[in-house]
Structure 1
Amino acid sequence: MTAHSNWEAVCTVDDLVPESGIAVWTEAGPVAVFYLPHHLPALFAISHTDPFSGANVLARGITGDLKGEPVVASPLYKQHFSLRTGICMEDESVRVKSYPVLLDGDRVRLKVPVSQRRFSAA
């Protein structure tokens, strides 16, 4: 099984909430997309899954800034994750996947890995 990447359209600009995140589903699984209009870049995407709990909650976290780094605080155990790199600010050995984001007209696209293996419907 080999993998490649695809720029997947996941939502529109109208779906975004300023200073917050939304959860989207991709071929790579659940992803949290954050819109920080007063920051450049303004769009970030990381895995929606909190690695400490296994729950899909990171899009519901509170966004902020730690020492100049845009972050989201997990709503469960309050660890902060860099929106740029996915690294946990309290434990750098833990990270979530981060995804490149681009704005294509009014569509938000993420570069996500896609499996070349096709599953047949039963």
Structure 2
Amino acid sequence: MLQTASNQQTTQWITVCSLEQIIPNTGVCALLKGKQIAIFRIGNTEETYAICNYDPFSKTYVLSRGIIGDRNGVPKVASPIYKQNFNLTTGKCLDNEAISVRTFPTKVVDGQVMVSVA
């Protein structure tokens, strides 16, 4: 457990998988605390992102199967259904800023991908 300085709440990190289990530039889905979380690996690096797996446009849990890329240097995932793009850092839809998905903090420790789901 990690103590955060900003809000003094305890943050629980959950180990999801090894970094090697996520093919570069793809995503995986994990069920954490009853929530489907899409976890993405950018390139052959330790850069990872986690967002809610629910696509608000198609109303299905599919974002982990989306196509990773970037728009003007902003990492994003395109929904595999209707192709809306979501900013992996903020969760905002790049095609309709009124829509967003929840994001979750990630980190890689000793080759293990960890996500914080509060």
* TM-score normalised by structure 2 residue count: 0.85
Which ranges in structure 1 are unaligned for 5 or more consecutive residues? 114-122
Higher gyration radius (CA): 1
Matched residue, 2:40: 34
CA contact (8 A) 1:28 1:112 kept: no
Structure 1 runs, 4 residues or longer, greater than 6 Å off: none
Matched residue, 1:21: 27
Which ranges in structure 2 are unaligned for 5 or more consecutive residues? 1-9
Matched residue, 1:56: 61
Q: CA RMSD in A?
A: 1.8
Deviation at 1:37, TM superposition (A): 2.6
1 or 2 for the larger relative contact order (CA 8 Å, sep ≥6)? 1
Paired residues, number: 110
Cα distance in 2 for partners of 1:83, 1:96 equals 9
CA contact (8 A) 1:16 1:22 kept: yes
Match of 2:51 among 46, 54, 59: 46
Cα distance in 1 for partners of 2:117, 2:76 equals 21
Change (3 A) 1:85 1:28: farther
Cα distance in 2 for partners of 1:92, 1:5 equals 29
* TM-score normalised by structure 1 residue count: 0.83
Cα distance in 1 for partners of 2:18, 2:37 equals 15
Deviation at 1:106, TM superposition (A): 2.2
Give me the identity figure in percent.
36
Cα distance in 1 for partners of 2:31, 2:48 equals 17
Matched residue, 1:11: 17
Cα distance in 2 for partners of 1:13, 1:69 equals 22
Query: Given the alignment of the two structures, is residue 81 of structure 1 paired with residue 102 of structure 2, yes or no?
Result: no
